[in-house]
Amino acid sequence: MNLIISPLNGAAKSSRAHDPGASRLVVAPSFERLKTLGIVLGTALFSLSLVAAPSVAVRDALNSLRAVGPLGQGTAAAQAAVKQLANEPASVLPEVLKAMDGANDYALNWLRAVVDSLSSKPGTQLPASELQHFIGNKEHHPRARRLAYELLQRSDAAAASKLLPSFLNDPSNELRRDAVAEELNKASQALAQSKKDDATQIYQVALKNARDVDQIEAAAKALRELGQAVDLQKTFGWVTRWKLVAPFDNIGGAGFEKAFTPEQNPDLAAEYDAQVGKASWKDYSTKSEYGLVSFNEPYTALKGVGGYAQTDFYSDRERDVEIRLGCKNAWKLWVNGQLLFGRDEYHRGAEIDQYRIKTRLKPGKNLILVKCLQNEQKEEWTVEWEFQLRVTDAQGTPIVSAQ
């Protein structure tokens, strides 16, 4: 699962993009134009009246599900809401899916249960056209769009199949995966027919658009067997050159909230009081195909510690971007001194583009600073003290530093 984050005023807040619209040319209409416009508007309003708005009871039930918290807050109300919504017709499915926008992981699980319940009733006719419209709105939650696509496959397989190629460059990895799988299948078929040039081109498309490691490795392996050079660092645009400083104290997890000196003074010539003795910035360049920045390499596999990584990223203009980060440790991210987001969690698992943080780069040099923390667990699967990071557009196409 990928977490999309839109920071606002220095705080990490979820929000959806707003399109202010384009400027419009206003022309005084003639009487005939007004009459025609009235007919069109009247028809549109009549059509809208046929689409029933969700009842107050449905909205209240969905709000109860969205209010569920990590420590069981709102569970009783959520259970009652699930029972109530189970009696609603399948036509409310788009509203249930819409309720996933901005919902936390716990609420998403409850809402998914409602979707499953409503869509699995015997004889249920799913609202195919509404589902297709929902999928087409890329502002909706990726998991909700994925659910809508699965429901559309059941309701109108032909319509779902037509949508598949458009997912290759979709911001939702949940939908992109199916499109990449289709490309891999087409490439395999071409190869079986000895169409090596066609297979090569299709595998290259699959590799460029893949975001899951298994699909990346499948495409890369096939291309290498076809004699093609594959540079995953370049393909995905990982930031590979950094300055690192460590170790700082994180005993008991206290280092997440504590602002160590590099947060206020990331001067590369500075020397800091560290967990033991002094620490200064070191040059670091990752050789990992997946851009993994491992603090274990220069500092060994320490426990109960934290470290900082910084890099200068040059933009040729002011632009909106996504900082895409993968990390199984606790972390925080700053761009140009502004804290964008952080996550105080350890060893949950990491994946490519796990966290997508929206920000705006200024022209010229932009300072990216990452704080990465390691806890005190001793199990073998807790050894990693690392992260990966790249800068992209909204579709995940890499943006490379201008210098």
Phi (first) and psi of residue 305, to 5 degrees: -135, 170
Residue 56 host element (H or E) = helix 56-66
Closest CA to 3 of 333, 371, 403, 335: 333
136 contacts: CB under 8 Å, gap ≥ 6: none
CA–CA distance, 87 with 107 (Å, rounded to integer): 20
301 contacts: CB under 8 Å, gap ≥ 6: 383, 385
133-191 pLDDT, tens digit each:
999 999 999 999 999 999 999 999 999 999 999 999 998 888 999 999 999 999 999 99
The stretch 344-355 carries a mean pLDDT of 92
102-142 pLDDT, tens digit each:
999 999 999 999 999 999 998 899 999 999 999 999 999 99
C-alpha distances (whole Å) from 141 to each of 170, 175, 352 are: 12, 11, 18
CA–CA distance, 238 with 244 (Å, rounded to integer): 16
CA–CA distance, 208 with 398 (Å, rounded to integer): 10
The answer to whether residue 7 scores a pLDDT higher than 60 is no
211-224 pLDDT, tens digit each:
999 999 999 999 99
CA–CA distance, 372 with 258 (Å, rounded to integer): 13
Q: For residue 17, what are the β-bridge partners?
A: none
* Whole-number pLDDT of residue 302: 96
* Whole-number pLDDT of residue 72: 86
Helices (H) and strands (E) in the chain, counts: 14, 13
Q: DSSP string spanning 333-355?
A: EEETTEEEEEE---SS---TT-E
The answer to whether residue 311 scores a pLDDT higher than 50 is yes
Q: DSSP string spanning 100-158?
A: TTT--HHHHHHHHHHHHHHHTSTT----HHHHHHHHH-TTS-HHHHHHHHHHHHHH-HH
* Whole-number pLDDT of residue 293: 98
Structural domains of the chain ordered from first start: 56-155 (no CATH), 173-230 (no CATH), 236-392 (2.60.120.260)
8-state DSSP, 281: -
Q: What is the mean pLDDT of the chain?
A: 88
**Rounded to 5°, angle at Cα 319 from 8 and 245:** 70
Residues found in the chain? 403
C-alpha distances (whole Å) from 70 to each of 35, 66, 73, 338, 350 are: 56, 12, 7, 28, 21
38-61 pLDDT, tens digit each:
433 343 333 333 445 678 999 999
Closest CA to 166 of 199, 132, 195: 132
301 three-state secondary structure: coil
